[in-house]
Chains A and B, each alone.
Chain A
Amino acid sequence: MTTETSPLARLLSAEPTIVTAGVELFETSLRDQGVAPVPVDWRPPAGAAADLARIAADPRTADANATALERITAAEPHWVGITTARDAVGIETGQFLHAGPPITWERASGPLRGALIGAMLYEGMADTPEQAIAIAERGELELAPCHSRAAVGPMAGVVSPSMPMFAVENGAFGNRAYCTLNEGLGKVLRYGAYGPEVIERLQWMQQVLAPAMDAAVGRLGSLDLRALIVQALQMGDELHNRNRAASALFVREVVPPLLEAGIDPSELADVVRFINGNEHFFLNLGMPAGKAAVDPARDLPGCTVVVAMARNGTDFGIQVSGTGDRWFTGPAQVPDGLFLGDYGPEDANPDIGDSTITETSGVGGFAMAAAPAIVRFVGGEVGDALTATRTMYDLALGEHPHYQIPILEFRGTPVGIDATRVVRTGIVPAVNTGIAGREAGVGQVGAGLVEPPMEAFVQAVAALAAS
Chain B
Amino acid sequence: MADHLDVRRGVYHDSVSLLQVSRRVADVDGVDKALVAMATELNLDVLASMGFAVPDAGPNDLLVAIRTDDDAVLEAARAEVDAALAASQGTGSAGFGDAPPPRTVAAAVRAGDVDLALVSVPGEHAFVEAMDAVRAGVSVMVFSDNVPVEQEVALKTAAAEQGVLVMGPDAGTAIVSGVGLGFANVVRPGPVGIVAASGTGAQQLTCLLDDAGIGTSHVLGVGGRDLSAAVGGRSTQQAMAALDADPATEVVVVLSKPADPTVAAEVRRVAEHLDTPVVFALLGPDAPDLTAAAAEVATALGREAGEPAQWPAPTDRPGPYTELRGLFAGGTLRDEAMVIAAAALEAPVRSNIPLADDLALTDGLDTPGHVFVDLGEDEFTLGRPHPMIDQRLRLERLAAEAARPGGRVVLLDVVLGHGAHPDPAAELAPAIADAIASGEDLAVVVSLCGTVGDPQDRDRQAAALVEAGASVHLSNAAAARTAVQLAGGRA
Contact = CB atoms under 8 A, between A and B. Distances in A.
A21 B108 contact: yes
Contacts, number: 230
A386 B46 contact: no
A74 B366 CA distance: 70
B242 interface: yes
A376 B20 contact: yes
Interface residues of A, number: 74
A341 interface: yes
A201 interface: no
B74 to A, nearest CB: 19
A9 B245 contact: yes
B35 interface: yes
A12 B23 contact: no
B115 A17 contact: yes
Contacts of A427: 103
Given A1-B245, A56-B128, A22 B50 contact: no
Interface in A332-350: 338-342
Interface string A1-37: 1110011111111111111111101100110110101
B108 to A, nearest CB: 4
Given A17-B113, A40-B101, 7 more contacts: A7-B115, A8-B245, A21-B119, A23-B143, A26-B118, A338-B20, A394-B107
Contact of B180 (A3, A33, A376, A425): A33
A425 B154 CA distance: 23
Interface string B42-56: 100111011000000
B354 interface: no
Interface string A404-428: 0001000000000000010011110
Interface in B93-133: 94-97, 99-111, 113-122, 124-125, 127-129, 131-133
Interface residues of B, number: 85
Given A29-B180, A57-B127, A338-B16, A22 B139 contact: no
Given A40-B101, A341-B50, A49 B124 contact: yes
Interface stretch (A84-92, A226-234, A377-385): A377-385
Contacts of B99: 387, 390, 393
Nearest to A48: B124
Interface stretch (B160-168, B300-308, B322-330, B469-477): B160-168
Residue of A20, A62, A381, A447 with highest tally of chain B CB at under 10 A: A20
Nearest to B135: A62
A140 interface: no
Interface string B62-105: 00000000000000000000000000101000111101111111
A56 B127 contact: yes
B218 interface: yes
A17 B139 CA distance: 11
A97 B111 CA distance: 43
Nearest to B102: A40
Interface of A: 1-3, 6-23, 25-26, 29-30, 32-33, 35, 37-45, 49-50, 52-53, 56-57, 62, 185-186, 277, 338-342, 373-374, 376-377, 379, 381-383, 386-387, 390-391, 393-394, 407, 421, 424-427, 446-447
B105 A2 contact: no
Contacts of A377: 16, 19
A228 to B, nearest CB: 22
Given A7-B115, A38-B114, A26 B125 contact: no
Interface stretch (B171-179, B224-232, B277-285, B460-468): B171-179
A56 B46 CA distance: 53
Given A38-B111, A38-B114, A18 B179 contact: yes
Contact of B179 (A3, A35, A186, A338): A35
Residue of B139, B164, B243 with highest tally of chain A CB at under 10 A: B139
Contacts of A12: 176-177, 217-218, 242-243, 246, 248
Contacts of A391: 100
Contacts of A21: 104-105, 108, 117-121, 129
Contacts of A35: 179
A379 B20 contact: yes
B418 interface: yes
Residue of A57, A391, A446 with highest tally of chain B CB at under 10 A: A57
A341 B14 contact: no
A7 B164 contact: yes
Given A53-B128, A394-B107, A8 B165 contact: yes
Contacts of A424: 103-104, 128
A277 B16 CA distance: 17
Nearest to B177: A15
A188 to B, nearest CB: 10
Given A11-B139, A12-B242, A53-B127, A18 B165 contact: no
14 contacts: A8-B245, A15-B177, A18-B118, A22-B121, A26-B182, A37-B118, A38-B102, A42-B129, A49-B125, A53-B124, A56-B128, A57-B131, A186-B41, A382-B90
A216 to B, nearest CB: 24
A24 B428 CA distance: 25
A313 B242 CA distance: 58
B114 A383 contact: no
B241 interface: yes
B114 A26 contact: no
A16 B181 CA distance: 11
B118 A19 contact: yes
Contacts of B182: 26
